[in-house]
Amino acid sequence: MTGDPEGTSGWPDAGHRVPDLTAVAPHAGAAQTHRYRLALWAFAGCGLAVAIVLLVRAGLPQILELLRTAGYALIVLVPLHLVPLALDASGWRALLPPGGPGRSYLTGAAVIRESVGGLLPVRVGGEIAGIRLLLRRGVPGVAATASVVVEVTLWLVAQLIFAVAGLVLLVLLAHGDRNPAPRWAAGGLLLTAVGLAAFVVLQRRVGLFTIVEHILAGLAGRDVVRRVADPARLDAAIRRLYRDRGALSRCVAWQLTGFVAGAAETWVAFQLIRQPVSVPAAVVMESLTVALQSATFFVPAGLGTQEAGFVLLGAAVGVSTPAALAGALARRGRQLALGVPALLAWFWLERRPG
């Protein structure tokens, strides 16, 4: 798959300033944007309340003692998390035109994408940041946008495959015949599969830009969205990417490897707090918790959902509630230690001319 020639996309050429997708339409989108932000803050508040209740009921002193046992060794989770991000970046690279950014740059961009999407109350912000970072490296706008939206779709496919593997392991490991976790996980994955199938059908029947346009219009206003891309060219670029089976296969393979590396990170986290879990248990907790967070994408930073997922799945595979929550908090610490510097770097880049 090759990208559109310079100057043929609906985005500015590489030599022009990167368009400001964060601008908000002064009239049409203001009320919708306000409602969207209020909803995000409401979901964030509910998620935070769930997390606090879980921590208090499980015994916060005991949880903190587990974290104290690990001490500064938990910092190793930061470089360890770069491994799955680098693997994801390799998958992203498979969808870009030849001569595009290298894996090192894309790994940095993946860190920023995750940090923007995970720490800021704007759920599609990570994808917008990824597009802008590609534009800074001279990738034509249509090729950049197509690569991101197709990569997100394939990430969901890879996540579903990994979650199914996690579900199989959960059924084998679940403690107690009446444990509800396998049934809940199976039902959730079924709904996820139906939603993903509908999303792919909409991409082919309606055109993905039409879908993305409705989402982004709530943030930036419909007139702003229409100014920064040509819907026809973008949909054509996405369809061309979907016809490149080799690129799609390489991308999904890299992403699946990244999910496995994420499970290794979870396994290491529990070793550090002296609450070791088996590798299959780590795969269960990682795969199905990530799937849960994806399904509850409307909750900023997965507040409460990550903690609840670790508790529910941990109980199913023999991990105590305090240990599960300590593992979840260790991940939160890594998220902040890596994400805050990444956000600062992104803000610094945004202040520089593109």
Q: Which residues contact 189 (CB under 8 A, 6 or more apart)?
A: 160, 163, 164, 167, 291
Residue 332 to residue 345: CA distance in whole angstroms: 20
Give the pLDDT confidence score for residue 179 in this predicted structure: 62
* Backbone dihedral angles phi then psi of residue 101, each to the nearest 5 degrees: -60, 150
Please report whether residue 151 resides in a domain.
Answer: yes
Q: What is d(CA 11, CA 229) in angstroms, rounded to the nearest whole number? A: 6
Confidence of residue 177 (pLDDT cuts 50, 70, 90): low
| pTM of structure | 0.80
User: How many folded domains does the chain comprise?
Assistant: 1
User: Tokens 């997390």 belong to which residue?
Assistant: 51
DSSP output for 28-93: TTHHHHHHHHHHHHHHHHHHHHHHHHHHHHH-HHHHHHHHHHHGGGGGGHHHHHHHHHHHHHHHHH
324 domain-assigned: yes
Query: Could you tell me the two tokens for 211?
Result: 């879908």
Provide the 10 A C-beta neighbour count for residue 336: 15
Per-residue confidence (pLDDT) for residue 81, from 0 to 100: 96
Q: Provide the pLDDT confidence category of residue 66 given band limits of 50, 70 and 90.
A: very high
Give the residue with greater pLDDT, 310 vs 11: 310
Contact 269, 331 (CB under 8 A): yes
Q: Helices H, strands E: what count in the chain?
A: 14, 0
- Report yes or no on 122 lying in a domain: yes
Dihedral sign (CA 36, 41, 42, 47): positive
In the structure, what pLDDT confidence band is assigned to residue 237 with cuts at 50, 70 and 90? confident
- Average pLDDT of the residues in 257-271: 96
DSSP state letter for 290: H
Structure-block tokens of residue 42: 């409401």
Gap between the Cα atoms of 263 and 274, Å rounded: 17
pLDDT digits (tens, 9 = 90+) for 279-321: 999 999 999 888 888 777 778 777 888 898 899 889 888 899 9
Contact by Cβ (8 Å): 231, 211: no
- Gap between the Cα atoms of 323 and 63, Å rounded: 7
132: left (phi over 0), alpha (psi -120 to 50) or beta: alpha
267 or 188, greater pLDDT: 267
Give the span between the Cα atoms of 195 and 153, in whole angstroms.
11
**Is 52 within a domain?**
yes
Q: Residue 296: inside a domain, yes or no?
A: yes
Asked if the structure places residue 3 within a domain, the reply is: no
Q: Is residue 11 part of a domain?
A: no
Q: Tell me: the pLDDT tens digits for 214-233?
A: 555 544 445 445 544 567 77
The answer to whether 289 touches 167, Cβ cutoff 8 Å, is no
Looking at per-residue pLDDT, the higher value among 147 and 198 belongs to: 147
Domain assignment of residue 130, given as a range: 30-350
Identify whether the C-beta of residue 112 lies closer than 8 Å to the C-beta of residue 350: no
Distance from C-alpha of 21 to C-alpha of 226, rounded to nearest angstrom: 11
Asked whether 115 and 342 are in contact (CB, 8 A), the reply is yes
- Predicted local distance difference test score (pLDDT) of residue 238: 86
Total Cβ atoms within 10 A of residue 104: 10
Mean pLDDT over each residue of the chain, to the nearest integer: 80
Token pair for residue 27?
């009239």
pLDDT for the residue numbered 285:
92
pLDDT of res. 254? 97
- Contact between 44 and 301 under an 8 Å Cβ cutoff? The reply is yes
Contact in structure between 316 and 284 (CB atoms under 8 Å): yes
Structure tokens at 89: 């970046």
Q: Using the predicted structure, report yes or no on whether residue 180 has a pLDDT greater than 70.
A: no
For residue 14, pLDDT over 50 is answered with: no
Select the more confidently predicted residue: 40 or 268: 268
Instruction: Characterise 102 by phi-psi region: left (phi > 0), alpha (psi -120 to 50), beta (else).
Output: beta
Whether residue 111 is contained in a domain is answered as yes
